[in-house]
Structure 1
Amino acid sequence: MNTPVQIGLPQVVLFLIAVLGIGLLISSLMGLFSSRRELEVFEDEDGRRYRRWRKRRRELRWKRGTSGIIMLILAVSLLWLTFAVQSYLGLTNDIKVARVHANTFTNDPHNMDLQLTMLDKNGNPTSDERYSINGDLWRLECVMIKFPTWMNILGIHSSYKLTRLEGSYNDSKLESSSPHVVVELNGGVGDFFNQTYGNSLTKPFVDATYGNGVFEPADGKTYDIYVSQTGLYAKQASN
């Protein structure tokens, strides 16, 4: 599985804002629920006097806690802003994971010559292979691990793994009766679902696990494949 961690200046700034918000939150709560100390004077049988500080129980100080309430509102607002902005950055910062180019044969329209280039999270090629695939459309599949929203503040992108390449036919009759070629990528799906979502140790940190795929026609055009926080999608390559 690939789990990109997107750490840059925006994430650093948001982390500092979150720390400030948590600090204000703790300070404001301590200000609202503060304890008092009172000086008490005791006198024994011989007339000697003793002084002792006595700590009163914590109580809610509404009248003197106005500034604390304002700080509390400010702290919650900063934390909400941090999560909202980081979630937006995570949802809009997609990663290019592959490039696909497929051509059909003139004398064999239901077969294609396909070139698949897989990329790492920095856009560098990790493999470049050619395949002969049956069908009119190519389909690239992956498995995904979606993390809880609160983990976005750490810049953690959804995990993904490209698992399968195959073709399909536009005609449903051909789809059910014609041969298919399935290419397993990166070891396939394996026992992915049982090892992640079914594992009680990973459940607090895993929001969902699922399979996802994108398909396009073998029209001779080149497509860039991106992974978002929710799955794969394809765009025609600009170069």
Structure 2
Amino acid sequence: MTLSNPLIIIALLFALLGLLLFFLTLRSWKKKKRFGAAFKFVSALLMFALAALFATICLAVQGYHALTKEELAAVVKVEPTGAQKFTARFVMADGSERLFPLAGDQLYVDAHILKWTPLANLFGLHTSYELDRVAGRYADLTDEATKTHTVYSLAKIRPLDMFALRQRFAFLNPLLDAEYGSATFINSNTPEEFKVMISTSGLLLRKSEKGNAQ
């Protein structure tokens, strides 16, 4: 979260306006201008509320990545370790690595996608995504219903999430054009390296050139 973020700049501007109006409120009160003081105080509260709103939205979308075209979200290397068991080593877009032991015949990955309205675009909010979960998936429905399930979170831990925030507060409706989940899966019975690709149309797993070369 940096000062180059338009949402932070807007939140700071509203906060500064709120502080200015608050000091003007105190001055009007000392001059016994009660009506003027009351008006400035209400205006200050409004500015602080708007500052809190934009700061909250900024915090809630942290971890989501701007999405303008098909992008590489992660590289994952699948390695079978036994019957219906495998590991998935993720190298995320930021370079961090995570290893997951999974059960099943297929690698499953899903993501959250947020599509903002043109109004929200003016505040620097554009279509964005965040990888959400990785899991093992069974090809057979009976296995899926009866065998061990393994699932892990890929999302970053943070105090607020835009998906949850959107469900709690209806006033965010005009800002979000669409919110949806996208999922993809692929067989995990042979050692392979895949690229987790994401676009505005959804998520997909594609064999990497390195994996094809092997």
Instruction: Answer yes or no: same fold by TM over 0.5.
Output: yes
Q: Is the 8 A contact 1:113 1:132 kept in 2?
A: yes
Matched, 1:196 2:166: yes
Q: Is the 8 A contact 1:146 1:158 kept in 2?
A: yes
Look up the equivalent residue of 1:112 and give its one-letter code. F
Higher helix share: 2
Cα deviation, 1:158-214, whole Å, max 9, x if unaligned, reads 211112111011111111111111112225798653412553332222111122211
Which protein is bigger by CA-based radius of gyration? Answer: 1
Give the TM-score normalised by structure 2.
Answer: 0.59
Following superposition, the deviation at residue 232 of structure 1 comes to 1.3
Matched, 1:167 2:136: yes
Matched, 1:112 2:101: no
Matched, 1:2 2:70: no
**Which aligned pairs between 1:36-55 and structure 2 lie closer than 5 A?**
none
Q: Percent identity, please.
A: 23
Give the TM-score normalised by structure 1.
Answer: 0.53
**Which aligned pairs between 1:27-176 and structure 2 lie closer than 5 A?**
90=68, 93-105=69-81, 108-120=82-94, 125=95, 127-148=96-117, 157-176=126-145
CA RMSD of aligned residues (A): 2.8
Aligned position for 1:210 = 180
Q: Is the 8 A contact 1:104 1:220 kept in 2?
A: yes
Total equivalences in the alignment? 146
Aligned position for 1:60 = none
Following superposition, the deviation at residue 116 of structure 1 comes to 1.1
Please give the secondary structure, in 2, of the residue aligned with 1:175.
helix
Task: Specify every segment of 5 or more residues in structure 1 that has no aligned partner in the other structure, as ranges.
Answer: 6-89
How far apart, in 1, do the equivalents of 2:161 and 2:64 lie?
16
- Alignment counterpart, residue 194 of structure 2, candidates 206, 214, 223: 223
Q: Is the 8 A contact 1:223 1:235 kept in 2?
A: yes
Q: Is the 8 A contact 1:96 1:226 kept in 2?
A: yes
Q: Is the 8 A contact 1:102 1:221 kept in 2?
A: yes
Aligned position for 1:52 = none
How far apart, in 2, do the equivalents of 1:159 and 1:104 lie?
32
Task: Specify every segment of 5 or more residues in structure 2 that has no aligned partner in the other structure, as ranges.
Answer: 1-62
Q: Is the 8 A contact 1:97 1:226 kept in 2?
A: yes
Aligned position for 1:40 = none
Matched, 1:184 2:153: yes
Look up the equivalent residue of 1:236 and give its one-letter code. K
Look up the equivalent residue of 1:116 and give its one-letter code. F
Look up the equivalent residue of 2:207 and give its one-letter code. Q
Please give the secondary structure, in 2, of the residue aligned with 1:201.
helix
